[in-house]
Amino acid sequence: MTSQAITDTIRVAVHAPDTITRAGLLSCLQQANRLREIPLKKIDEADTIVVAVDTVDATALDLLPTLNDRPDARFVMITGREWHADISAAVDRGVRAVIWRDNFTPAAFIHTLHAIADGGGSFPPTLQGTLMQQVQWTHREILAPRGLTAAGVTPREIDVLRLVADGKELSEIATKLSYSERTVKYVLYGLMKRLHLRNRAHAVSYAIRAGLI
């Protein structure tokens, strides 16, 4: 196997309530060259974890960190249409896709796993709508009154970070934005303290990953 093939491999662990469901999901994985099963005893090595449950509720969400508590853990949940959980809480726990059991096909399952591996997500329209409503409420009621964006950064902080990313010195940033150099330092310090960022480079990296600059 070439190094490129190894890099492209998507390692998938499957947690299911019964052997028949698990066997069916593993059979789907075998139909795609890029997908490789990771045994549950090595679940920490998985890129994506598939969890099949009858109902998604608080108990189902509490199961996820017991399977893998890495901050970057990614889950695909396969379930009936009994959804009784906070969709935002599910996303916070690492859920990146939900497939209704009655809509399940091997092709859709494989496509979803590829999308998750590429950094995407996939939710049924009803859950997407609920998630968007929660995002809008959070922005309107919590972030906007504090002058924050969804990433927890103010427009002024974004302006400063953009210029830092361009390699500008603090004095140049102060002149460009009509601030004092002390104000620029205060903006950066406040941002790094609030978001637990180590230094300016870390702050710029955060802003790039969040799509702010």
pLDDT digits (tens, 9 = 90+) for 45-87: 999 999 999 999 999 999 999 999 888 899 999 999 889 998 8
pLDDT score for 153: 82
Burial of 168 (0-12, 13-18, 19+ CB in 10 A): middle
Whether 96 and 48 map to the same domain: the answer is yes
Q: How far is CA 148 from the centre of its chain?
A: 20
Domain range holding 64?
3-125
User: pLDDT band for position 88 (50/70/90)?
Assistant: confident
Does any domain span residue 190? Answer: yes
Any idea what the CATH number is for the domain that residue 80 is in? 3.40.50.2300
Q: Does residue 162 share a domain with residue 106? A: no
On whether both 13 and 100 belong to a single domain, the answer is: yes
Residues 13 and 82 placed together within one structural domain of the fold: yes
- Residue that terminates a domain, selected from 94, 125, 156: 125
- Same domain for 167 and 103: no
- Give me the helix-helix angle, 155-165 and 170-177, nearest 10°: 130
Cα–Cα–Cα angle for 132, 153, 64, rounded to 5 degrees:
50
Are 118 and 161 contained in the same domain? no
Cα separations (Å) of 159 from 117, 147, 174, 179?
A: 32, 14, 11, 12
Return the CATH number at 204. Answer: 1.10.10.10
pTM, two decimals, is 0.67
**Does residue 136 sit within a domain?**
no
